[in-house]
Amino acid sequence: MSKAAELAALIGSQTALSNRNLIINGAMQVAQRGTSSTGTGYQTVDRFQGTNSGLDESNTQAQVDVASGTTPYSLGFRKAFRITNGNQTSGADAGDIVNYRYIFEAQDIANSGWDYTSSSSYVTLSFWAKSSVAQTFYGHMKTFDGTVYNYPFSLGALSADTWTKVTKTIPGNSGLQIDNDNGQGLEFRIVMFYGTDRTASVTENAWAVYDNTQRTPDNTSTWYTTNDATFEITGVQLEVGEQATPFEHRSFADELHRCQRYYAVRENTAGSLKYYGRTLQAYGAASVFGLIADYPVTMRATPTVSQSGTFGAYKANSGNNAMATAIQNLYATSHSWGTGGWSGNSNLTAGHAVVMYAENNAKLMADAEL
Amino acid sequence: MKITNAKYMKDMATDETVGIAATIDGTDATVPLDPANRHYDEIMRQVAAGTLTIADAD
């Protein structure tokens, strides 16, 4: 048998030969929002959330470097997503939560080739994990459409401060429904801690109808009750088939492009008073309106938009500064940022062209995350 | 998700309602009227629960 045939036999006929990894940013390369935060949800590494609830002291989520000399580093991983615990002085309460969360767009799973309603069709989740505290951790996968199903699993016993490759092969189930649309289709969580409000004596490695109070087996609380405990993940891959194949490395540009379907930033990093966006139009003597700039790619849905820094505008052919403020009435169309009325104090006339600028580091954001 | 100061926004040129201005977890933002947007979904959930009111546009 040729090497190619041996490889094909090893990975199975269900496995795609390209675009195998259904995870976006699994190597944690892209962090458009920033590299460290004490918030919850989408804060740093794109497409991944660090979620928490019930904490006495905030934890910190961060994009961090993978240390050279480690096995993930030697495999080409340079970034990881770290959660650093706070000081949970009241101990492990029933409602407390710390976990990683990743949500797949439904149509990406529906069109992946996984026959998710068949118990003989599989996806395989694999990732590198490292905890500063030796403990057995859990995770779970969950659907959204139709009757919601849950699949709890164990990561196994992690040794302290040791990178471990975790692999879970997950079958389909006749009860699963994943619609062919742009909504939430499937999620998985890697759990540092669930209090007993979220845990019970559930069966591992089996799909069951989702119960919010029975997401995983009861959790050990050692990590959660250790001040400044850390947990890191990288190299996250979900692929169709029964085998975990080597991580599908992608270029930064490729990952950024994929991430921008869900979150985009348009920032002036070239210095102060740089032209920015399209020419706007005066609506009257003191206001302008119009579309400012297109999103870099088609976004999943019409995004929530926000801004930081100082923007401004000149009346064309005059050099007169018409306004230098935050953009007023900033709103989103399906394809671009716009302003529905930005007031200044110059002597404009309806129809005047107005040239927009941005101060250094002024930026617009668009959030269409799941 | 903490949402405050929700208020409908109109485009001055067209008088069309184009979004909901709100403060979301401390950040001022504009949420589109798109059911596929997670912030819009959350605003509608909180409105239905009676914990959030959206003010009329100016």
For residue B27, give how far its alpha carbon lies from the nearest alpha carbon of chain A (Å): 8
Query: pLDDT band at residue A196, thresholds of 50, 70 and 90?
Result: very high
Q: Are residues A241 and A336 in the same domain?
A: no
Across the interface, which of A304, A369, A370 has its CB nearest the CB of B31? A304
Q: Are residues A106 and A217 in the same domain?
A: yes
Among A53, A302, A334, the strongest candidate for a mutation testing the B interface, having the largest count of B CBs within 10 A, is A302
Which structural domain range is residue A283 located in? Answer: 264-367
**What average pLDDT is seen over chain A?**
94
Tens digit of pLDDT for each residue in A164-186? Answer: 999 999 999 999 999 999 999 99
Query: pLDDT band at residue A142, thresholds of 50, 70 and 90?
Result: very high
Answer whether 0.90 is exceeded by the pTM. yes
Per-window interface: A 299-338 vs B, CB < 8 A: 300-306, 329-333, 338
Q: Are residues A217 and A315 in the same domain?
A: no
Q: Are residues A74 and A20 in the same domain?
A: yes
ipTM value, please give it: 0.98
Give mean pLDDT, residues A52-68.
Answer: 98
Sign, CA torsion A150/A155/A160/A163:
negative
Q: Are residues A250 and A166 in the same domain?
A: yes
Report the amino acid identity of residue A346: S
Q: Are residues A353 and A220 in the same domain?
A: no
Q: Of A242, A259, A276, which residue constitutes the final position of a domain?
A: A259
Q: Are residues A213 and A286 in the same domain?
A: no
Picking from A81-85, A184-188, A267-271, which range would have the lowest pLDDT averaged per residue?
Answer: A267-271
* Contact present, A158 and A212 (Cβ < 8 Å): no
Q: Are residues A353 and A254 in the same domain?
A: no
Tell me, what's the pLDDT at A5?
58
* Chain A residue with minimum CA distance to B16: A340
**Read out DSSP for B21-56?**
EEEETTEEEEE-S-TTSHHHHHHHHHHHTTS--PBP
* Contact present, A179 and A143 (Cβ < 8 Å): no
pLDDT at A318 over 80: no
